[in-house]
């Protein structure tokens, strides 16, 4: 099995060991079968614990035939927060996707203010070390002058490293979400978004 990098990520990341006239068209990471089993097991266990908690306080909750809720929405929300989103690392809003699902998020990154960028990235599960590496890359690269100009070599390499962490499951954000989150955040920082 493999996870494909989104096209946006492949176009951003430049391979330094490839001839300059070549372009990265497609990239992917191989996924170990045990990693998939682990994810499925975690999902199954969280859903089971959620259902068992509801059943322990309301044993007849699943028996309703009249369409009336036997459990309040507040109790369901509390149990959901405790069992489904508890200890979740990364942007919970990025979990749901598909037709008919709409999400909004507020991004408070100020142009050329690295502290606001760092705060945003930390809220989305990046480590202090990764954020520090980005700060170094931004300082060493020339600043892009327009939205159409690609990131500098160091920043593009840092994004590639983070996408690899995402694909490996080290950073608990899907690669599609990671590519958009990082590129949008860094473009906002530069003022080219």
User: In this predicted model, what pLDDT tens digit does every residue of 65-95 receive, in sequence order?
Assistant: 666 667 777 787 777 777 776 545 444 444 4
* pLDDT tens track for 3-22: 887 766 766 665 555 667 77
Whether residue 61 sits in one domain with residue 129: no
Q: How many domains does the chain have?
A: 2
Q: Nearest to residue 113, comparing CAs of 188, 192, 182?
A: 188
Whether residue 111 sits in one domain with residue 40: no
Q: Are 175 and 9 in contact (CB under 8 A)?
A: yes
> What value does the mean pLDDT take over residues 154-183?
84
Instruction: Give the tokens for residue 15.
Output: 């391979």
Whether residue 84 sits in one domain with residue 123: no
Helices 128-140 & 114-123 angle (0-180, nearest 10): 150
Domain extent for 64: 33-88
113, part of any domain? yes
Whether residue 168 sits in one domain with residue 142: yes
Query: Helices in the chain by DSSP H: which ranges?
Result: 7-12, 33-57, 73-83, 114-123, 128-140, 153-168, 175-190
pTM, full prediction: 0.51
Whether residue 116 sits in one domain with residue 150: yes
Q: How far apart are CA 104 and CA 145, in angstroms?
A: 28
């Amino acid at each position: 099995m493999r996870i494909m990098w989104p096209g946006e990520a492949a176009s951003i990341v430049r391979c330094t060991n490839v001839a300059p006239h070549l372009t990265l068209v497609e990239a992917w990471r191989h996924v170990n079968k045990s990693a998939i089993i682990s994810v499925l097991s975690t999902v199954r266990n969280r859903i089971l614990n959620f259902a068992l908690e509801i059943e322990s306080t309301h044993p007849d909750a699943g028996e309703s035939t009249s369409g009336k809720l036997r459990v309040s929405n507040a109790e369901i929300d509390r149990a959901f927060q405790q069992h489904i989103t508890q200890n979740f690392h990364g942007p919970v809003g990025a979990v749901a996707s598909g037709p008919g699902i709409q999400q909004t998020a507020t991004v408070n990154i100020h142009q050329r203010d690295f502290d606001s960028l760092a705060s945003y990235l930390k809220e989305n599960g990046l480590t202090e070390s990764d954020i520090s590496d980005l700060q170094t890359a931004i300082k060493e690269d020339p600043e892009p002058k327009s939205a159409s100009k690609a990131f500098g070599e160091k920043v593009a390499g840092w994004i590639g490293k983070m996408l690899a962490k995402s694909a490996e499951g080290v950073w608990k954000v899907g690669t599609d979400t990671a590519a958009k989150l990082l590129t949008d955040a860094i473009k906002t920082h530069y003022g080219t978004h």
